Structures are given as structure tokens and as C-alpha cells.
Amino acid sequence: MLIFPDLNTGNNTYKAVQRSAGAIAIGPVLQGLRKPVNDLSRGALIEDIVNTVAITAIQAQGIGDDR
């Protein structure tokens, strides 16, 4: 987990690491809400959308476990 002082620094570092490492980066992943909710940017690629949907589905499967 990385924490940055502001949104611009976080976004720039996130994209730089993703592109230079050729890594799959998924996020932001929101935690602590009653229902799974995640965010996509307007410039999200199809791969980003599919990965975020997969993470959200996994989060939704765990909802009943928290009761």
C-alpha cells in the first residue's frame, strides 16, 4: 500500500509504476462501505474495466461473511 500527500502525486506515481513495470494496476479500491463500490477514470481501458468488475464481484461475494 502506498500513501501520497495529494491526488496528483498519487496518480502520477501510480501510472509511472504501472507503465514502467508492465504491471496490472487495479484501483482505487474502496473499503469500509456497506456495499462494494469502486471507481474508474474516464480514460479507463477495457482491461481496466474488466479487472475492476472482477475485484468488485469478489468483494460482493464476501458481503454475507461479515454478518
Q: What is the tens place of the pLDDT at every residue in 34-58? A: 899 898 888 888 998 999 999 999 9
**Which residue stretches of the chain are H helix?**
7-21, 46-61
Q: Domain boundaries in the chain?
A: 24-66
Grid cell 472482477 in the structure block, residue: 54
Answering whether pTM is above 0.85, one says: no
Provide the percentage of residues in the chain whose pLDDT is more than 70. 94
